[in-house]
Amino acid sequence: MSTLTQTPGGSAGPGQAPPPDRTRGGSATIGGSRAGARFFNGFSHLFLAVWAVMVIYPLVWVVMSALKTDSEVIREPLSLLPKRLQWDNFARVWTEGNIGSFFVNTVLVLTGSIFLTMLLGSMAAYVLARYDFPGNRLIYYMFLSGLTLPIYLAAVPLFKGVYNLGVTLPFLGPNSHLMLILVYVAWSLAFTVFFMHSFFRTLPNAIAEAGMVDGASHSRLFFSVMLPMAKPGLISIGIFNVLGQWNQWYLPTLLMQSVAGEPKNQVISQGLIELSVNQGYRFDWSGLFAGVTMAMLPVLVVYLVFQRQVQSGLTAGVGK
């Protein structure tokens, strides 16, 4: 900031031309002088570029390290140009490091959980937003309260509850995909209901009434009229949930530990933690970087393709 405070007004150094006539062209110049403005412009670019490098450089470094041999990672950690690109690092981690099956597990769980989160979340939000019945406020505030309470508070009983359920119903017990889907849905409902509630409130009444006059049932009105009208909101909250659930690590760490002999049903976050924690004496450095790259690139690609929607979707969540 200290450089910045000197830029406006009279920052034209000695030996430089005096500031041009301020009144020329009828509009006052901002920032004191042309030279000052040019300096400020240069400074802006410099600072922004430095921050951009600070964001990108570590990411590029991770990707390039994933393409090195282990000895290159150790001996020339900083070089961004491996001698030969080691694509088989990816293949090795994909199969031996289990990242492949963790990846598939994550996609599998998310397919179910995102669909159910969106469906159940908008159903609940719609009813709470547009129908008056006793207990409406109570249920709404129950959902809202979940937004403020820390997840760690529920961790221990949640673990025990899932464990106990698994004794009688193994497909809903620990280390089961269906259980994780339901847990993801339940924990995503609070924000989804909160967000969609405010969205359904803003939809005009006239269309709903017209639908009723035409003889549409309540559920038909919801699925064929109101839900399509809420599409912008659904996209925002959908992106929010996809990123949130893809990146979830605490719930799976708590609930998806596989005992020896059980199938490995873990998700990708757990695979990464596993890769990074098992730093034995013969550690697979390039494999670790390859794992991080594989967890990182799909989200980055999706983001780059849909960046406008992602940015507005995520910031809309804060703006409400």
Partner 1 sequence: MRHGVARFVTGFLALPVGLYLFYVVWPFLQAAGYSLTDWGGYSDRQQFVGLDNYLRLFTDELIRKAFWHNVFFLITVPLFTIALALFLAFLLNVGGREDKAGIRGVFGSGLYKVIFFFPQVLSLVVIAVMWQQIYRADGQGLINGVLMGIGLVDEDDPITFMYDPEPFLGVPAVLWWLLLIAVWSGAGFYMVLFSAAMQSIPKDIYEAAILDGAGRLHTFFRITLPLLRDTVSVAWVYLGFIALDMFALVYIMTPSQGGPNHASEIFASVIHFNAFQKGQFGYACAIAVALAIFTILLAAFQLRITRRERIEY
Among 108, 123, 203, 235, contact with partner 1 (rule: CB under 8 A): 123
Q: Does 64 bind partner 1 (CB under 8 A)?
A: no
Q: What's the closest the beta carbon of residue 47 comes to partner 1, in angstroms?
A: 6
Query: The tokens 């001698």 sit on which residue?
Result: 83
| Vertex 186 angle, CA 104 and 107, to 5° | 10
Among 14, 17, 28, 168, contact with partner 1 (rule: CB under 8 A): 28
Q: Which of residues 253-272 bind partner 1 (CB under 8 A)?
A: 269, 272
Distance of CA 149 to the CA centre of its chain: 20
- Listed residue (113, 111, 97) closest to 295, CA to CA: 97
In this structure, what are the phi and psi dihedrals at residue 236, rounded to the nearest 5 degrees? Answer: -60, -55
**Which range in 36-44, 91-99, 107-115, 195-203 contacts partner 1 by CB under 8 A?**
36-44
Q: Does 295 bind partner 1 (CB under 8 A)?
A: yes
- By beta-carbon proximity to partner 1, the closer residue of 265 and 291 is 291
Among 143, 191, 194, 200, contact with partner 1 (rule: CB under 8 A): 143
**Which range in 88-96, 145-153, 203-211, 224-232 contacts partner 1 by CB under 8 A?**
145-153
Q: Does 35 bind partner 1 (CB under 8 A)?
A: no
d(CA 133, CA 306): 39
Q: Which of residues 146-205 bind partner 1 (CB under 8 A)?
A: 146, 148-150, 152-158, 160-161, 182-183, 185-187, 189-190, 193
d(CA 90, CA 209): 57
Query: The tokens 């019945």 sit on which residue?
Result: 133
Q: Does 281 bind partner 1 (CB under 8 A)?
A: no
Q: Which of residues 207-226 bind partner 1 (CB under 8 A)?
A: 217-219, 222
For residues 47 and 23, the answer to whether their CB atoms sit within 8 Å is no
Q: Does 12 bind partner 1 (CB under 8 A)?
A: no
Query: The tokens 């990464």 sit on which residue?
Result: 272
- Listed residue (295, 187, 195) closest to 235, CA to CA: 195
In Å, what is the CA distance from 268 to each residue of 196, 273, 298? 29, 9, 12
Among 104, 142, 169, 178, contact with partner 1 (rule: CB under 8 A): 142
Q: Does 133 bind partner 1 (CB under 8 A)?
A: yes
Q: Which of residues 236-255 bind partner 1 (CB under 8 A)?
A: 243, 246-250
Q: Does 48 bind partner 1 (CB under 8 A)?
A: yes
Reading the block at residue 265, the tokens are: 């049903």
Among 56, 85, 91, 107, contact with partner 1 (rule: CB under 8 A): 56
Residue 160: partners with Cβ closer than 8 Å, 6 or more residues away: none
- Here's the x/- map for partner 1, 297-316, by CB under 8 A: it reads as --xx-xxx--x--xx--xx-
Q: Which contiguous run of DSSP H or E holds residue 271?
A: helix 268-277
Query: The tokens 């550690």 sit on which residue?
Result: 283
Q: Does 127 bind partner 1 (CB under 8 A)?
A: yes
Residue 210: partners with Cβ closer than 8 Å, 6 or more residues away: none
In Å, what is the CA distance from 172 to each residue of 43, 67, 260, 282? 58, 40, 19, 38
Q: What's the closest the beta carbon of residue 7 comes to partner 1, in angstroms?
A: 7
Positive or negative, the CA dihedral 141, 142, 146, 149 is positive
- Here's the x/- map for partner 1, 80-119, by CB under 8 A: it reads as ----------------------------------------
**Which range in 13-21, 27-35, 85-93, 230-238 contacts partner 1 by CB under 8 A?**
27-35
